[in-house]
Amino acid sequence: MINKGKHSILGINVHAVDYAYAVDRITEAAESRRAYAVSALAVHGVMTGVLDPTHARRLNGLDLVVPDGQPVRWALNWLYGKGWMIESMAPI
């Protein structure tokens, strides 16, 4: 499992995690009957948050925000050197 933390892309926090980590956190919350807010954000979702401060607060209040699409992963790689492959979300 990979968890390289939460990182800001234009003020929107996106978690640098792999599928195994995300599934494990979601399953753990479900098994303990605990609320756990998750979203997968593509560029449109990030930009919606950038342009709307209220929506940005909503997004940044979620428990887990994962990248949905290569451009968001490129941003994490470029800004923070996270080094992912799109197919497996494994480090390269």
**pLDDT tens per residue across span 3-13:** 999 999 999 99
Distance between CA 43 and CA 4 in Å, rounded?
20
Per-residue pLDDT averaged across 1-25, rounded?
Answer: 94
3-state secondary structure of 22: helix
pLDDT at 86 > cutoff 80: no
* CA trace torsion 44, 8, 39, 18 (10° rounding): 110
pLDDT for 85: 46
pLDDT band per the 50, 70, 90 thresholds, residue 33:
very high
- Tens-place pLDDT, residues 36-70: 999 999 999 999 999 999 999 999 999 999 999 88
pLDDT at 23 > cutoff 90: yes
Distance between CA 45 and CA 92 in Å, rounded?
26
